[in-house]
Every structure is written in C-alpha cells, then in structure tokens.
Structure 1
Amino acid sequence: MEEMREEMRQQKRLAGVSLAAWRALLCAGAAAVALLPGLAAASALEQFKSFVATTKSAQGEFSQRLVKADKDGKPRVSQESTGTFTFARPGKFVWLYQKPYEQLLQADGEKLYIYDRDLNQVTVRKLGNALGSSPAAILFGSNDLEKNFVLKEGGSKDGLEWLQATPMAKDTTFDQIGIGLKNGVPQAMELRDSFGQVSLLTFKKFERNPPLKPGQFKFVAPKGADVFEQ
C-alpha cells in the first residue's frame, strides 16, 4: 500500500499537482469582464495597478503547465493540470485542481489547507507571511505589492502586455514572475524558478468581484481524513 501511495505522489509531482508544484502559485484565456475604460492601450504596470486597486475578489478557471528542458536542452511541456479558483483579498482563496488529479488548496486568511483526495489527507499550515513574497500575493494578497516585489515593464508578447515582478526576498522559490495582462486583467503568468523550470498559468472566465457566499473560504475536513498540522 505504501509503495502505491509513493507511486501516486511521484505521478502528481510530474503532473504539477503536488504542493511543490503548486508553489508555482503560492511560494498562482479570455477574460469574462467588460473592457475597463482607458486600459485598452495602457502599459502592463498601469493595467496591473488598476486591477489590484479595483479587484477585491474574483473567480474563474485555470490551466497549468510545467516546462522543463530535455536532455538536448529543448523545452518540453509536462502534463497539463486544470481547475478552478476563487479568491478574496487579502489571503482568502480556494484553488482546486480537477484534472488529472484532484487536489484542493484553500486559505481562510490565517491558515492554508492542502487536501489530497486520493490519500484522504489534509495538511494545515499557517499562512503567516508566506503569502507576501510569493506569486500568490499577486492574486490573493494585499494591495501593497511593491513592498515585496520590484515591478517593471516586460514588453508585448502573445497579444498581452507583460509585467515582470522580481521578489525582493532571497529565500523565495521563484527568481522571476511574469504577469500577462489584457483589458485590465491578468490572463497568464510565467513563474521561473532557480532550477530553470517555468510554470505557465493561463486564466479564462475571469470574473471580477463576484458575489460570494458567507463562509465561502471556511475549510471543513472531509470525513475520515487524516489531518496533519505543520
């Protein structure tokens, strides 16, 4: 049984669904929103600052791909993960991987809960300051991002205006984060780590400031799940 569990963990790591892979977001298409006035030709930094200032919550769908260099040095895309997300600033979110494996990452502003359905296991961590200098802060954190990142223009690519965010902290997982924007909302992120790997996130059906249910971010451990506090 333990060998089967270990094999499953290995498969999830390759698919980009494990906790280590999710740090492509923590340290995370066409937008289903109206065009914000004055942002059609705005720079990436202008669009980004407007998005942060006016977006208190959002929901949508995502896809995630991990790009690695093969033995010949050519980029190779691993299996793609897809799912949904909901967030409310600061520090509350539900990030649900649905395919190829189901895994839930949820935060209530104080704690982060990681639920692996196949193992029926929950890992609980204090959210603390971990959000501050991580890629997740771009979507889920406070509005004062320039405390933790150096922001600069990254030029145009793939029909998007790109912003480069470099973490000020030296002990983060990622060396550089790219945010691709169009019509005033993030549509893609590129997360480059110190090992030369790139995690690519794309968003679709991005809805800004949707109505949220009371207790939307309260985590309830599934029946019979093993819970580990870290």
Structure 2
Amino acid sequence: MTKAARLLAAFAFALPAFVHAAALDQFKSFVGTTKSAKGEFVQRQVKMADGSAKVSNESSGTFMFARPGRFIWTYQKPYEQLLQADGEKLYIYDKDLNQVTIRALGDALGSSPAAILFGSNDLEKNFTLKEAGTKDGLEWLEATPKSKDTTFERIGIGLKNGVPMAMELRDSFGQISLLSFRKFEKNPPMAADQFRFTTPKGADVFQQ
C-alpha cells in the first residue's frame, strides 16, 4: 500500500467527524494525537505589486518531525539546504557551501512558525488562536504570537480532515510565505536516533 493510500485509510474512520469541524477543533485534535509526522512541502513567496499578488521563489522538499522540538526540514529544489533539530540544537547545513551553522534551539522555537508543527502541545501559551473562516476548501485558523520578540505578525493554518494542508506566514515587513503540504503521514515509525545530526565530511562548522 502506498503512503497516500495508508493516509486515506487512516482517515476513513475519522472523516465524518471532521467534515464540518471548525479549524480550532481540528487543530487541537491534530496536536493532541500527532506525536510525529512526515511528508512533502512546497514553499512560495508572495509579493504585492501594482495592487496584485505575485508568487515567486518556489522551493520544495521533505519534512519529518517528532514532538517536542525534533525535526528535519530538507529543501531539495531549487537548491539543497537542511534544517535539523535534535530537541536541543538547530543545525543548518548549506550543501553548496559545505557549511554547518549550529544554534541553541532554546526559546526560539516557542513563538516561531516551526512550533505549530514541531513544538510542544501547549501552543496557547505562545499563540493566540482564533477561527479565520473557510478558503480554498480548507478551514483556516489564525495564530498570533504573544511574544513581541518574533519576526512574524501572524500565521494562518489551513486544515482539512484534521490535518494541516497549508500555512500562510506574514512577517513584520509585509512579506508573505505560503506553505502547502502533501503526503502528510501521521505517527510513522521512526528510529530512536532519527534526528541525530552528523556533520558532513569536510564541512566548516560555525557556532552561534
């Protein structure tokens, strides 16, 4: 059975409950029942020009995460870059430069968009959550960071059948990033050392 088929089968029993469920209910159910996940993403930048929105800078790749604070976010196109966290440190690997930057994960995850998918279950500690209506066949939730020490003003999460299908990130500079997810697989088996980072041979390493 393909991953997509397994995903559809997993939701077959839950579908009636989620068809008309509000975004907040779907999201709380997702957070409460999803300890890990993996899938694919497409990311686009939106720029406003002459009163209309123009989509540019498309990138794509794969992701996997295990709560709390462990994830691998891999950009595959148009260039390769890896963001990986083991619960304590964040590793950013630029393949073209063969360079690794290491940062403390710390509180930085708390009010960032990454916390929506990868953080703890206590999201309402860091975000104000409210319903944002229906758009493009998805039920939308708006998350506003409570902390002022963040570059994001608000984050939209579009859900369908209890799974995040899209995110809309608006920063303090008026820029918008759109994320769409596919092949989203909840609670797949993962190895105990899945998120342990190994520095590529010959890579330059910088601590921040």
Residue of structure 1 equivalent to 2:46: 67
After the TM superposition, which residues 96-111 of structure 1 pair with which residues of structure 2 at under 5 Å, given as runs? 96-111=74-89
State the one-letter code of the partner of 1:184: G
1:32 Cα shift?
3.2
Residue of structure 2 equivalent to 1:58: 37
Find the residue that maps to 1:222 and give its secondary structure.
coil
User: Are the equivalent residues in 2 in contact too, given 1:32–1:204 (CA < 8 A)?
Assistant: no
The match for 1:124 among 80, 93, 102 is: 102
Identity over aligned residues, as a percent? 74
Q: How far apart are the structure 2 equivalents of 1:157 and 1:94?
A: 29
Residue of structure 1 equivalent to 2:171: 193
**TM-score normalized by the length of structure 1:** 0.85
Q: How far apart are the structure 1 equivalents of 2:77 and 2:7?
A: 22
Q: How far apart are the structure 1 equivalents of 2:7 and 2:138?
A: 16
Find the residue that maps to 2:46 and give its secondary structure.
strand
Q: How far apart are the structure 2 equivalents of 1:110 and 1:86?
A: 17
1:171 Cα shift?
1.7
Q: How far apart are the structure 2 equivalents of 1:79 and 1:140?
A: 24
The match for 2:148 among 141, 154, 170 is: 170
Unpaired runs of at least 5, structure 1 = 1-30
Bigger Cα displacement from structure 2, 50-59 vs 39-48: 39-48
Find the residue that maps to 2:24 and give its secondary structure.
helix
The match for 1:44 among 15, 23, 30 is: 23
Residue of structure 2 equivalent to 1:135: 113
Q: How far apart are the structure 1 equivalents of 2:149 and 2:54?
A: 27
Structure with greater proportional strand content: 2
Give the length in aligned residue pairs. 201
Residue of structure 1 equivalent to 2:187: 209
**TM-score normalized by the length of structure 2:** 0.93
